[in-house]
C-alpha cells in the first residue's frame, strides 16, 4: 500500500541537515521526492568518512546531479518544476534567486507549485543575511535559556530543537498544509520556514506557564527542567540512568511506594507541591537509586505506574522489547535507523530505497519526468548534468 502522500511529486534542492530531514519525512509518507544534487557532489562522499547508505536523511528518494551555474542545469530544474507539486530548498536568502530557481521563475513555470524555503533566521529581518546554526537560533528564540540545570550554563539538546523540530519538521508540515490549500484554490504559494520561529513555537506551553506565574526564569527550578525530584534523571549503582516522570500524584505515590524512598515516613506525595522540599527529596531519591543497578530497578519499576524508564543508549534502543514490538526502528541496506512516523492504518509510510549516491538516477528521473533521451544526452555533453 502507498503512503498518504503517494502521487505528489516534490523537488528537493540539496542542502544539509534540517531541509533533507523535511524532505525525508515527505518521502517516508509516500511522496516522490527527487533530490537535485550539485554536480560536484557526484565524486564526493555523502558524509565525512562514510558512504551514501549512512547518510540517512537522504533515504527514500532518487538523485539527479545538476550544475545550477549552467544555463542548461537551471533549465533542467525548471523543466522538472513544471511537473512538480512542491519544491523545497534550504539556501540562505537570495541564493535561489541568484541561481535562477527562486520562487519567481518557478511559480511562473508552474502556478500551482508550493515553494518551501527554510532558513535559520527567515527570509527577512536584521539577521536574515547572517550564517548560523541550531544553537544560535535556539538561543535567540529564548528557548535555550530554559534548558539546563540550576546554577549551570544552558545545555543545547543536540541540534534537535531548531534544526529538526523547529526546522525540518515544520518545513514538512508547511508543505503539506500548502498542498492541501493548493488543491482547493489551484494556486501555489511560498512558505517561509525559519528555525528561530520554530524554536519559539515549540516552547509555547512554557510561555503559557510563565505568563501564569508557574515558571521561573532560573533554570533547573521548575516542574519540567530537573527542578522537581519526581521529574528527573537519576544514576544507578552500575553507572546507568533512569528517567523518572511521576508528575501526577497517583503516579508519584507509586514511585514512593515501590522505590522505598518513603519507608522511614519522610517521603510522601505532599512533597510534590512543596517546592522548598524538592532539593532534599531529590537527594533522598538519588541515594535510593544508587543502591541497585539500572536493570534491577527496571525489573521493579518499568512495568508499573511509577513512570520510570531506562535511559537507553542509541545502540540499545532498537532492541528494547517495546521498540522491537512496534517496529520503532528498522533496517535498510544493513543500516539500523528510525522507522517512518506517524503511523497510518490504511496508507502506512515506508522507506522505499536507501540513500542514493549523488546523481545516481539522473537519466532515469529525467526520462520519467518527460525529457527525451536526446535532450538528456545533450545536457550531459554540455556539462549541465552528471
Residues designated as active site: 133, 163
The three cell numbers of residue 285 are 531519591
Q: Residue 341 and residue 58: Cα distance in Å, rounded?
A: 16
| DSSP string across 287-311 | HHHTTS-HHHHHHHHTTSTT-EEE-
The three-class DSSP label of residue 263 is coil
From residue 206, alpha-carbon distances to 145, 146, 201, 213 in Å are: 12, 9, 10, 11
The DSSP H or E segment spanning 114 is strand 114-119
The three cell numbers of residue 297 are 530497578
The three cell numbers of residue 77 are 530544474
Q: How many CB atoms lie within 10 A of CB 330?
A: 14
The three-class DSSP label of residue 237 is coil
| DSSP string across 128-174 | TTS---HHHHHHHTTSGGGSS-TTS-----TTIIIIIIIIIHHHHHH
Residue carrying the nine cell digits 543497578: 293
Say how far residue 109 (Cα) sits from the centre of its chain: 31
From residue 255, alpha-carbon distances to 219, 223, 369 in Å are: 25, 17, 59
Question: Using CA of residue 375, residue 380, residue 383, residue 386, what is the dihedral sign?
Answer: positive
The three cell numbers of residue 17 are 541537515
| Phi, psi for 71 (deg, rounded to 5) | -55, -35
From residue 67, alpha-carbon distances to 19, 72, 177, 317 in Å are: 20, 8, 31, 41
Amino acid at each position: 500500500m502507498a503512503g498518504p502522500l503517494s502521487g505528489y511529486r516534490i523537488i528537493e534542492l540539496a542542502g544539509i541537515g534540517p531541509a533533507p530531514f523535511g524532505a525525508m519525512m515527505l518521502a517516508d509518507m509516500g511522496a516522490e521526492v527527487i533530490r537535485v544534487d550539485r554536480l560536484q557532489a557526484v565524486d564526493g562522499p555523502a558524509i565525512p568518512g562514510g558512504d551514501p547508505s549512512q547518510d540517512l536523511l537522504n533515504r527514500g528518494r532518487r538523485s539527479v546531479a545538476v550544475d545550477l551555474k549552467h544555463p542548461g542545469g537551471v533549465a533542467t530544474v525548471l523543466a522538472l518544476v513544471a511537473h512538480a507539486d512542491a519544491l523545497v530548498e534550504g539556501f540562505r536568502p537570495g541564493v535561489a534567486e541568484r541561481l535562477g530557481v527562486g520562487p519567481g521563475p518557478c511559480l511562473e513555470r508552474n502556478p500551482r507549485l508550493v515553494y518551501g524555503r527554510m532558513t535559520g533566521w527567515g527570509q527577512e529581518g536584521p539577521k536574515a543575511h547572517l550564517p548560523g546554526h541550531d544553537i544560535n537560533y535556539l538561543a535567540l528564540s529564548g528557548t535555550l535559556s530554559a534548558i539546563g540545570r540550576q546554577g549551570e550554563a544552558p545545555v543545547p539538546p543536540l541540534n534537535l530543537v531548531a534544526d529538526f523540530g523547529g526546522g525540518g519538521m515544520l518545513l514538512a508540515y508547511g508543505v503539506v498544509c500548502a498542498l492541501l490549500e493548493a488543491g482547493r484554490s489551484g494556486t501555489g504559494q511560498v512558505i517561509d520556514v525559519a528555525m528561530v520561529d520554530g524554536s519559539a513555537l515549540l516552547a509555547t506551553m512554557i510561555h503559557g506557564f510563565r505568563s501564569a506565574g508557574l515558571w521561573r526564569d532560573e533554570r533547573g527550578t521548575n516542574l519540567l527542567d530537573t527542578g522537581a525530584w519526581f521529574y528527573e534523571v537519576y544514576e544507578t549503582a552500575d553507572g546507568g540512568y533512569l528517567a523518572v516522570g511521576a508528575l501526577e500524584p497517583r503516579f508519584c505515590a507509586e514511585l514512593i511506594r515501590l522505590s522505598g524512598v518513603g519507608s522511614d515516613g519522610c517521603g510522601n506525595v505532599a512533597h510534590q507541591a512543596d517546592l522548598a522540599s524538592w532539593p532534599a527529596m531529590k537527594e533522598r531519591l538519588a541515594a535510593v537509586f544508587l543502591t541497585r543497578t539500572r536493570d534491577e530497578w527496571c525489573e521493579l519499576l518499568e512495568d508499573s505506574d511509577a513512570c520510570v524508564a531506562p535511559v537507553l543508549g542509541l545502540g540499545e534502543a532498537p532492541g528494547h522489547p517495546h521498540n522491537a514490538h512496534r517496529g520503532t526502528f528498522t533496517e535498510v541496506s544493513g543500516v539500523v535507523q528510525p522507522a517512518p512516523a506517524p503511523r497510518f492504518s490504511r496508507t502506512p509510510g515506508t522507506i522505499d530505497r536507501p540513500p542514493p549516491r549523488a546523481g545516481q538516477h539522473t537519466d532515469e528521473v529525467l526520462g520519467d519526468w518527460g525529457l527525451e533521451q536526446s535532450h538528456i544526452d545533450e545536457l550531459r555533453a554540455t556539462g549541465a548534468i552528471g
